[in-house]
Chains A and B, each alone.
Chain A
Amino acid sequence: MAFRISSSPHVRKDTATQAVMQKVILAALPGLAVQCYFFGWGSFIQVLLAIAVALGAEAAVLKLRGRTIKETLNDQSAILTALLIGVALPPLAPWYLVVIGTIFAIVIVKQLYGGLGQNLFNPAMAAYVLLLVSFPVLMTTWAAPLGLGADNAGFVDALKVIFSGVGAPAFALGIDGVSMATPLDTLKTDLSMGLTATESLQKPIFGGSSTGEGWVWVNLAYLAGGIYLLASKTIRWHISTGLLGALFVCSLVGFALSPDTHASPLFNLFSGATMLAAFFIATDPVTAATSRRGRLLFGALIGVLIYVIRTFGGYPDGVAFAVLLANLCAPLIDYYIKPRAYGHRGHS
């Protein structure tokens, strides 16, 4: 009788792309929850909307490309992309932002480059940058954190604001009434107006924690999620460590040299999208470098770029730009940084 033949190895670790994606999504949920707690239901609605659009867009493109729809959607990478877009957008941003961004991310950045594993750029960040460049005002107006503005928008109110721009009487003024600049934005504006960093940090938006009311908790939640990912070996430590380390070192140097014009390292680490970037965005393996040393460098590059853009650039937060620039550098890093293979001690 004939027996089944196959190439070794005959056993496989029980991991799947789907499982990897699921873990990442799971790890991001605490951060999303904290975000909703401080900034209202807006982020949650954005995430749901983004997921719906992402799945629809991916299914449509897969059909056009003649690929299997169900299996590909099952890998949940589209859901993860949508989640990241959803949490990155301002909670009360109008619905078309998230729709445009998600379609751009899935259709153009991901599928047109060949789908999962083939894209050059991080889809979520590319979408974010597209929106930031196209709708600068809407993209930099964040909902006021809990306790600073009017009461947080309830689920229905947020829904109304997002889809119509007009909410309940409490939000009669529309978005402007319930939103304000983010701490990073405030600091940047104040510094440009001649205030020192210390003076600026006295403002209520920073909430006395020197990092920004609410934002520190959001970042801590994402850090927790990141630690879970590291512990479960879903991601490796190289990129995150490189990113946070480089950002810390840069801001420390800047702060030490000129404390009046620079925020503290802690402020940099726990404000804005730092932790989200370190554990959920930069760690997207598709667009990162491949070798371990290469990934350390890749992460560090993002960290440096975040600092540079935050401090010297025109945008308050530079995560998206930093990640995209690093994506561009990934092939270069891969070319020059290769691990020394066994038996090649002494040469190369």
Chain B
Amino acid sequence: MLTLLEQLDKGTLWKIPGGIHPPEMKSLSNASSIARLPLFDEYLLPLPQVGEQASLAVSVGEQVLKGQSLTRGAGHSYLPVHAPTSGTVIAIEPRPSNHASALPVLTLVLKSDGKDDWCTLEGANSDGANTKSVSSEGVNAEKVDIASLSRELILSRIQQAGIAGMGGAAFPSHIKLSPASEIELVIVNGVECEPYITADDRLMREHADDIIAGLEIIHKLLAPKRLIIAIEDNKPAAAEAMGAALNRSHLPAGTARVTQIPTKYPSGGEKQLIQIITGKEVPSGAIPAQLGIVVHNVGTLFAIRDAVVFGKPLIERVVTVTGNTVSKPGNYWVPIGTRVTDVLTYCDFQSEPSQKIIMGGPMMGYALPESKVPILKGSNCILVPASDEIGEMPAEKPCIRCGECAVACPASLLPQQLFWHAKAEEYDKAESYNLKDCIECGCCSYVCPSDIPLVEYYRVAKAAIRHDAEEKRKAERAKVRFEARIARLEEEKNAREAKAREAAEKRKASMVGNEKDAIAAALARVQAKKAAKDDGAVSGVAADGAGAGASVGLSAAVSAGVNNTAATPADAATTAADPKAGVAAAIARAKAKKAAAQAEAGESSAQDQASTDMAAERSTEARADVNPEPSAAQDPKKAAIAAAVARAKAKKAAAQGLSSASDAQTSDAPAIDQAIETGAEDSASNNSDENNANAAATVTPEGKEDPKKAAIAAAVARAKAKKAAKAAQNDGVDAPAADTQDNADAAEKNVTDIAESAGTDGAESAGTDAKASETLTPADAKKAAVAAAVAKAKAKKAAQAQAQASNLQQAEDNEHSSSQRDAQLAQSDNAAEAADVSEIADIDVSNVSNVPDAADGAVAENAAPQADQAQDAEQDSKKARIATAVAKAKAKKAAREQE
């Protein structure tokens, strides 16, 4: 068994499977030597790397010299673009690309000045040891002794010359020449197996020595054990020239040889050529360097030699112009960037109807839809066939599974199976038949008796698979992003909660006084209860209420707290039958508590005490009644949002209340929103019954649609009424206390706000108490009644609050206070949520329209007496302020609604 090197030296060749023998058609263009083209007017230089690894080195209007680099850049795969001639940059804009799609790419348009002046080439060494030489184009440049150059310098020169593989793939050559692994074998590809193309053939015949000089440079760079120049046996002249040049070269004897290989398409494919020369196969998905092999095209070697020896950039290449529609077929030195149409015109191209312009050979070349596109570094042929040469493709006929495609396939694939699956879009199955190993050589299509464009099917399938993979990758990325976001939100939520907890702690620490209030309130209630039992008249009403559930309870509370008309509770009771009323009642109850507290503030009699107790009791009852309602809510979400809205309102109210007050509590209360809110609600709901307020808040929105609107409107109305009342008090009666004055100020301010922002609604209701009864319509009567009840209840709450205040010192109930603290914690959580949904809530609230003026009026009317009492009672400044604040907030909202 011979070693590979021995076999290489012997010239052993391996057979590749498949392959075809299409008509060569090379004699059309290989008879004459490579000719030069005249200077054309315009050159197009695509700048594919600009914006990525490169930036422009010139601007529009700038004069450039031949060989001057037009881009600047760095990076491993950066390749500069050079001016192919001297002239002016007239545009840098998207132009059609030299591609089957002709999609526009950023292109530099160079207008030739006709002088073709070279820039100074940096190829020369400055030590003067170099001899003057003439490069292929006749430019005078300093010739460099290769041996004196370092490896890095050579590679850098190759890169700076912009050399890319000239066999078609245009892969940057300096990368191929600095492989990570050891290279044992360099194969020089002079096969040129495509029909028609003779560019490499002519180059080898005419510039064999220059190519070999390039090979010497590669030998210096890679130091391979063998260098094989592979040439198809249909190019004997080229093989002979190369052999002779090799004999003249400085390469170590026995390391390089010319090997003629049998003519067969696609022997010039990199993988196929490796298989022919070495018998090895490049593993699927790998590159030849992994086998210790690199393959370079002869044209690339020539360009490398120019670049390294003369510092001449790659600005021209040999292009075969052929086909029966040009009268001067042959090979030409074509500057990179020359427009295809210019070349064709020079070659006397006579276009036929439905003419094809093929870039490359007939097997793998692509048809150009547009001829004003530039020649690229990989463009080796322009084929313009006559219609009798390469005609219309016959229509596709059914596959008869003849298997000729499989016989022809150089990659040993089963093209017809690939075709079935590609056609059926079963891309996974196509992949299982190794679709990715298809080199798109076109042999299968060539031999197909049914004229099926097999390669086209494979291209579509490959593109689809690529697209799918891309989609999958995108989805994967999106998923990762999504998960990261979820994690971040969770983190933020935790952080928020922690903050809220902290704030709550702080607040608690600073609100010892309040807790005492709560305890006192509880004690007060107990006492009041006792008192109530003693008071027969009140307890009688209370007994009725106790039996009749929430609505009656409400009425009882109201009637007990405020000596109002008997009709109001009755109304309330009847309305309570329907859900609308229920909701309203719930709200009313909540408010009632506050009102009661306020109202009671002014009265210190036992009866009032009793009423306070009643209010508290009824509140509890109301809560019991109301609580089931949310659970039965049709839309819990709505309810939740509404609750949030309510909470947000409370927060605002609290904030306003606090800011307007100059009480010690302002300084006590932490500035943190949550804490304020908690505190506000806490105190507003009379400490021990804060849940009640919550329940009310939760219930409020539940009644949306019609009843809900009414309920909300009622609440709004109430708030206004209250404010109006207070304002009225303030106006009418001089403030009895500084605290009250504060409160009144706040209310006043509020009223002004309303007046300013929303018109005169609030002000009107404040000014004209009695108007309401006139505007009452039957439909609104109920609402009005409820609202009235609410207002009354509020008054009562005020009274209750007062009671608390008076009983401040009376008792301490540790258990009570601790439970309260728990409740506060819970609320601070809620506050956080409320903050989250506050936006939505705001919108919700603002969406609610139909503020019933009648109800407004009614509330105002009813609120007036309540307010009177409240005014008297206003001693507990805190409570009052908070209530005011709440009212303000509501009023504001109402104003918004009015708008």
Contacts and interface: CB of A to CB of B under 8 A. Distances in A.
Given A285-B402, A295-B403, A341-B412, A7 B459 contact: yes
Interface string B395-419: 0011111111011001111101100
B118 interface: no
A342 B411 contact: yes
Interface string B260-290: 0000000000010001000001111110000
A133 interface: no
A17 interface: yes
A117 B367 contact: no
Contacts of B367: 3-6, 8, 10
B620 interface: no
A66 to B, nearest CB: 15
B403 A285 contact: yes
B365 A117 contact: no
Interface in A62-117: 75, 77, 115-117
B357 A3 contact: yes
A292 B408 CA distance: 12
A11 B400 contact: no
B351 A236 contact: no
B271 A342 contact: yes
Contacts of B407: 236, 292
A13 B413 contact: no
A314 interface: no
Interface stretch (B233-241, B441-449, B640-648, B811-819): B441-449
A274 to B, nearest CB: 23
Interface string B423-452: 000000000011001001010011111110
Contact of A10 (B371, B385, B404, B459): B385
Contacts of A291: 403, 406, 414
A285 B400 contact: yes
A117 B445 CA distance: 17
B399 A117 contact: yes
A174 B385 CA distance: 66
B704 to A, nearest CB: 62
B364 to A, nearest CB: 5
B100 interface: yes
B134 interface: no
B753 interface: no
B445 A12 contact: yes
A3 B17 CA distance: 36
A236 B403 contact: yes
A340 B302 CA distance: 37
A118 B437 contact: no
A11 B22 contact: yes
Contact of A11 (B357, B363, B394, B410): B363
A320 B578 CA distance: 89
B362 interface: yes
A117 B371 CA distance: 41
A13 B447 contact: yes
Contacts of A9: 362-364, 442, 445-446, 455
Interface in A112-140: 115-118
Q: How large is the interface on B (under 10, 10 to 19, 20 to 34, 35 or more residues)?
A: 35 or more
B363 A341 contact: no
Which of A7, A8, A16, A77 lies at the interface centre, i.e. has the most chain B CB atoms within 10 A of its CB?
A: A8
B281 A343 contact: yes
B775 to A, nearest CB: 79
Interface string A324-348: 0000000000100011111111100
B433 A117 contact: no
Contacts of A11: 22-23, 195, 362-363, 390, 446
Contact of A13 (B22, B281, B355): B22
Nearest to B410: A342
Nearest to A283: B402
A340 B411 CA distance: 9
Interface string A234-251: 001000000000000000
A87 B434 CA distance: 42
A75 B397 contact: yes
Interface in B352-390: 354-358, 360, 362-371, 383, 385, 390
A19 B442 contact: no
B187 interface: no
A290 B402 CA distance: 8
B417 A345 contact: no
Contacts of A6: 356, 367, 393
Given A16-B449, A75-B397, A10 B284 contact: no
The majority secondary structure among interface residues of chain B is loop
Contact of B390 (A10, A338, A340): A10
Nearest to A348: B434
B284 A4 contact: no
B20 interface: yes
B410 A290 contact: no
B492 interface: no
B433 to A, nearest CB: 7
A286 interface: yes
A263 to B, nearest CB: 33
A169 to B, nearest CB: 48
A15 interface: yes
Contacts of A13: 20, 22, 446-447
B470 interface: no
B117 interface: no
B670 interface: no
Nearest to A16: B449
Contacts of B385: 10
A6 B414 CA distance: 23
A285 B351 CA distance: 42
B453 interface: yes
B402 A342 contact: no
B371 A1 contact: yes
B412 to A, nearest CB: 4
A16 B404 CA distance: 12
B412 A339 contact: yes
B456 interface: yes
Interface in B573-600: none
Contacts of B364: 8-9
Contacts of A220: none
A301 interface: no
Which of A5, A344, A346 lies at the interface centre, i.e. has the most chain B CB atoms within 10 A of its CB?
A: A5
B286 to A, nearest CB: 7
Given A1-B371, A343-B284, A10 B410 contact: no
Contact of A290 (B357, B363, B366, B403): B403
A11 B362 CA distance: 6
A180 interface: no
A116 B446 CA distance: 21
A193 interface: no
A286 B403 CA distance: 9
Contacts of A12: 393-394, 445-446, 448, 451
B455 A10 contact: no
B286 A343 contact: yes
A346 B414 CA distance: 19
A181 interface: no
Contacts of B440: 8
Given A339-B413, A343-B271, 17 more contacts: A2-B370, A6-B367, A8-B360, A8-B364, A10-B358, A10-B365, A11-B23, A12-B445, A75-B397, A77-B400, A117-B399, A286-B400, A292-B407, A295-B403, A342-B412, A343-B282, A345-B281
**Ranked 4 nearest A-B pairs via Cβ:** A9-B442, A343-B284, A7-B456, A117-B398
Interface of A: 1-13, 15-17, 19-20, 75, 77, 115-118, 236, 285-286, 288, 290-292, 295, 334, 338-346
8 contacts: A6-B367, A8-B358, A8-B367, A9-B445, A20-B449, A236-B407, A341-B413, A344-B283
Interface of B: 17, 20, 22-23, 100, 195, 271, 275, 281-286, 351, 354-358, 360, 362-371, 383, 385, 390, 393-394, 397-404, 406-407, 410-414, 416-417, 433-434, 437, 440, 442, 445-451, 453, 455-456, 459
